[in-house]
Chain A
Amino acid sequence: MSEPETSFLSPRKFLSHPALLTLPALAILILVMAVPLGTVISRSFTEGDAFLDNYYWFFNTPVNMTVLIRTFRIAAVVTLVCAIVAYPYAYAMSVVGPRLRLFLIMCVLVPFWVSGVVRTLAWVILLQDSGVINKTLLALGFDKVKLIRTQLGVTIGMTQILLPFMIMPLYAVMRGIDLRLIQAAKSLGAHPVKTFFQVYLPLSLPGVFAGATIVFILALGFYITPMLLGGTQSSMLSTLVQQQVLSLLNWGRGGAMGVVLLIATFGFLALAAPFMRQKYKMSGGSR
């Protein structure tokens, strides 16, 4: 009955049930994710004068709605700008030789290894009224532009910080695109511009959607960058959560805001999911 192989902790048992290998990660996730999240959700309902009191407050305070909409708008703009900047860059990465490719990858990754706080502070120096950008503009005879404490400044900073999250999935998908298909399209009479829109772009879209989803969701929860680069007119929802929880010690209201953001994010994912589904496999032919 108690043969060593049948013991629950025997190596063989573990290998025959690979799902068991996820236990350590699962334990950590439950401890640091599920439990606090559960607490946040429950406190958002229980703390307050009445059930749903915090949610009633959230949706009936105009400033909250303004910030919520602004949060989504900034996240959308950042995602769009990231996509526009990252697409040609990722394409270049996927077609150049190995040396130049390594250089391009390093250009993406090295800033990525520097903490977001440090990069945001660097942007403060660049964007401030007497910063590098404005001094250059003045030297060239242009007027100063108000960058720091504006939504433009926040968007610039967030785009730079989130760019790698757009480039890498795009690059991964683009590397898998068989460039000989472009040749085939040409031989079939397609103008290069049409070839791009009919063949290359559709095949790269899964990368665009993957990158856009990651960037959009990360942007929704951005905290440090909007706080340091933005002013009161450009604060995002995470800043309001921080105010409620740390400054006003109102865990219920802060929790309610977090839950609203979470549900909105899930809603967005549900909307995006149909676009991510692919009806075909990339490896059509022999390679």
Chain B
Amino acid sequence: MLKISNLIVKVLDKIILDDFNLEIKPGEIHALMGPNGAGKSTISKVLLRDSSYQITKGNIILNEKDLLKMNTTEVAREKVFLISQNPIEISGVSNAEMLRTSLNDQGNKDMNVLEFNRYLISLCEKLNISKDFIHRDINYNMSGGEKKKMEILHMWVLKPKFIILDEVDSGLDVDSLKIVANSIREYYEEYKPSILVITHQKTLLDIVKPDFVHVLNNKKIDKTGDATLIEKVFNEGFSRVSTITRSEDNE
């Protein structure tokens, strides 16, 4: 599904990721953890081809295609979906308009509008948000929790096969976090997408249940393990886990 090899990423001539490697196979859930400023969010922007990030070395293969030759739309049409930590507000463009246009652009031209609206309403009920949000401007005047729930609604409509959750848990209260995390898990059970979870929080990982956990430090992944690594990170901290890794490697 996704293979990142020897990636070097720069922003304004500063190296953010150096020799970054990661492989995610279909249906796998990977968690990427790391201290503030380690470059975790960079990888989500790079995968979606944000032009502010310069790739100076390495390659990324997505669905056997060269991702670095794609633009943002092309990556999204490979069914990659990003939920960022602070989704932006777009005044004047409603959620329904955006979703209809996206589906229309992707070839779903004979969509039944009434059926589509009914589906959106059922998703709002499931996510415990007002159905009025469907016709409201994208993320406009919404709380952090409402924004994340709308992004989850977008996910259910666009049916991605590869989901990047970039600190989706930031700014969420306990109840909203559980609704969001359970909805992601439910989506996973139904469609088995690959998921990359970037987070600082344990609650999200407890519900989403990653198969692999990576710790990002010094601009690259320096520790990979199974879900037990989460406990280790929360008990001992990122620096201790990385120190242990380096001494184990030296031995």
Do A and B make up one complex? no
Chain A residues at the B interface, C-beta cutoff of 8 Å = none
